[in-house]
A and B are shown apart, each in its own frame.
Chain A
Amino acid sequence: MWGDFRYILFYIVGVMSTGDYLGAFEHLVLLSLLRLNDRAYGVTVRQEIAARTGRDVSVGAIYTTLERFEVKGYVRSRMGEPTAERGGRAKRFFRVTAKGVRAVNSTHEALRSMSLGLELVRSLS
């Protein structure tokens, strides 16, 4: 309940702001983080993108993007517990911040307004 309310709030704030726009891959990564919520780490993000878009992305591409997002303040990360299946290494979980949600919304808004009235695009798809 609180989660939904928070995202609605973020959406309203995001639509009002004219923030940064995301690249296509950055957009996919942030959307997959939003979908995965508390389960978002390298493997699940990779699998989510592959399952929904068919794109086989590398772990390096995801971490490079996430690192950039962390510097920009779009995501926050925390370390999980080390597990045996990972050779005693910990998972690094990511979560989208309010600023990240605003960036997603700004991009959506820009794409929506750019494609508005383009019947040709719709007829081709």
Chain B
Amino acid sequence: MTRHRATPPHIAAWLVNLVAAPEQAETILGDLLEEFSSIVSRSGTAPARRWYWRQSVRTIAHLIRGQVRNAPAETVAFAVGGFLLYVVVERALQMSAQAIIAHSNVYYYISALVFWRAIDDVGRYVLPVMVGWTIARAARGREMMVALSVGITETAWILAIYANWLLASSGRRWINIPDFSMMSIFCPPESGPPHDASVMNTVRLLRFTLTHWWIPTIVLLLAGAAIRRATSSGRSLRRETAQ
């Protein structure tokens, strides 16, 4: 009779491998597998898999916290640097789109809707992956943490813009916090809040921004970093195998 050897959850192991530094990942995964096997023989596969998932989630949280704690200045530098990079490439895309319209008769070939839809899609789906990949390349071994820190900086920026609008609606002085999203092409920051800044309206717009812009951006930033991590791990594994 053939006995199937229990294996730990692949996704959990993949996530741990993604977050841990390359030199740490092998040891941590080895430790998890060793304890997983002993729990399988003691209590069965299902409790062992549950244990593995629980340990993986806690391990990922600790690793991210540890990476921040061990290098706080670098983390802030990456968060701000990554955010500025994102702003620069987004602005470059917006300016390129405006230059195309100013210097060529693009609407003759494609409709304005299709053109701006394409620009919006590039800004929304391609740029975050590129930025995630680039910052992950700069922060070897802490790829996911730095991508996450850029995402958190973006979140703070968005929330600051909306809080500013709300405060302006309650009679306080409006502070000009630039909106770097594609929306700023149509509503320049100098023109002030581009909507009726009532509480309900601001919350409705914030919800729209979070679901249509923020969540895809964070997910794609992390995806870019994950692609970089996976390709660099694969390359170093191939190098080790060749040696």
Which A residues form the contact surface with B (CB < 8 A)? 41-43, 46, 58-61, 63-65, 67-68, 71, 85-87, 89-92
Contact = CB atoms under 8 A, between A and B. Distances in A.
A85 B62 CA distance: 25
Nearest 10 A/B pairs, CB to CB: A64-B66, A60-B59, A89-B30, A60-B62, A58-B58, A42-B31, A86-B30, A92-B27, A61-B62, A60-B63
Interface stretch (B33-41, B129-137, B161-169): B33-41
B55 A59 contact: yes
Given A59-B55, A64-B65, A68-B70, A87 B27 contact: no
B58 A90 contact: no
Interface residues of B, number: 25
B60 interface: yes
A90 B66 CA distance: 22
Contacts of B30: 86-87, 89-91
A65 B32 CA distance: 17
B24 interface: yes
A60 B66 contact: yes
Interface SS of A by simple majority: helix
B59 A87 contact: no
Contact of B28 (A59, A65, A68, A71): A59
Nearest to B67: A64
Contacts of B65: 64
B24 A87 contact: no
Contacts of B66: 60-61, 63-65, 67-68
Interface in B119-168: none
Contacts of A41: 27, 31
Interface string B18-32: 001000101111111
Contacts of B61: 58, 60
Contacts of B35: 43, 46
A65 B69 CA distance: 10
Given A60-B28, A67-B70, A71-B70, A85 B63 contact: no
B58 A60 contact: yes
B59 A85 contact: no
A42 B28 contact: yes
A39 B239 CA distance: 31
Nearest to B27: A92
Contacts of A87: 29-30, 33
Given A58-B55, A58-B58, A86-B34, A64 B29 contact: no
A65 B66 CA distance: 8
Contacts of B20: 60, 63
22 contacts: A41-B27, A42-B28, A43-B31, A43-B35, A58-B61, A59-B28, A59-B59, A60-B60, A61-B59, A61-B62, A63-B24, A63-B66, A64-B67, A65-B66, A67-B24, A67-B66, A86-B30, A86-B31, A87-B29, A87-B30, A90-B30, A91-B31
A58 B62 CA distance: 8
Interface in B1-58: 20, 24, 26-35, 37, 55, 58
